[in-house]
Amino acid sequence: MKRLKDIWEHLPDLDYTYKYFDEASNLRTYEICGRKFQETAKIDYVLDCLKKVESGYGERTRQAERNENIDFKTISHALRAAYKEKELLTENTITFPLKEAPFLREVKQGKLDYLKEVAPKLEALMEEVEILSENSTLPEKPDRKFWDQFIIDVIDVSCGASTSCGCCGQSGCAVWEEYWTKL
């Protein structure tokens, strides 16, 4: 019965495959999509394990092709977050409601074909946001103190504690204007 070590030199180097030496076991290890197999593993055993993994992924793919068992609500949230991040990174603002709201509603209701209409849009949007994030001039972390006070002031105004400025209640207050100019 052949083992991985017998075909080690012929094992492919692909995305999600890794060959390395495991010092703890003192054996070479071949990793495929997070599944680790030592060089002493029988080839039949490795193939059986990979067939089980493939059948799980394969079934999910087949279900996606049929638009079955897709969590459209979660996907719509991912899209919404990506659209918001894109708008923040390109326009320094977030608009409500999002201009993509009708599309997001259709996604959430499962009215669109996942593989043809939704997945490609989500993948492209995620790639775009990743590139925009890498090139962003926005700070790594928000000014927490500023935003905490801003929220308190907005709540004060909206609850009627103040007619315009959350700090002093005066119209045209310099402190209030400073909040809006920092945005």
Candidates 160, 151, 141; CA nearest to 179 is 151
For the chain, the domain total comes to 3
DSSP 88-147: HHHHS---SS-TTHHHHHHHHTT-S-IIIIIHHHHHHHHHHHHHHHHT--S-SS--HHHH
Q: Do 10 and 48 have their domain in common?
A: yes
Distance CA 125, CA 78 (A): 10
> What's the confidence (pLDDT) of residue 163?
46
Q: Do 129 and 81 have their domain in common?
A: yes
Q: Do 78 and 97 have their domain in common?
A: yes
Q: Do 76 and 129 have their domain in common?
A: yes
Q: Do 114 and 78 have their domain in common?
A: yes
Distance CA 149, CA 169 (A): 15
50 found inside a domain: yes
Mean pLDDT value across residues 111-134? 91
Out of 65, 88, 108, pick the residue that ends a domain.
65
Q: How confident is the model at residue 176 (pLDDT cuts 50, 70, 90)?
A: low
Q: Do 27 and 61 have their domain in common?
A: yes
> What's the confidence (pLDDT) of residue 21?
95
Domain with 155, as residue range(s), is 144-182
- pLDDT tens digit string along 6-45? 999 999 998 889 999 999 999 999 999 889 999 999 999 9
Q: Do 58 and 8 have their domain in common?
A: yes
Residue pair 28/36 in contact (Cβ under 8 Å)? The answer is no
Q: Do 46 and 100 have their domain in common?
A: no
> What's the confidence (pLDDT) of residue 16?
85
114 found inside a domain: yes
Distance CA 43, CA 56 (A): 20
> What's the confidence (pLDDT) of residue 90?
92
Residue 31 zone, left/alpha/beta (φ > 0; ψ -120 to 50; rest): beta
| Percentages of the chain per state (helix, strand, coil), in multiples of 5 | 55, 10, 35
More confident call, 60 vs 94:
94
- pLDDT tens digit string along 130-175? 999 988 888 888 888 988 888 887 777 666 554 455 555 555 566 5
Q: Is 36 helix (H, G, I), strand (E, B) or coil?
A: strand
139 found inside a domain: no
Distance CA 43, CA 37 (A): 10
**What's this model's pTM, rounded to 2 decimal places?**
0.51
Tokens for 90, please give them: 């390109």
28 found inside a domain: yes
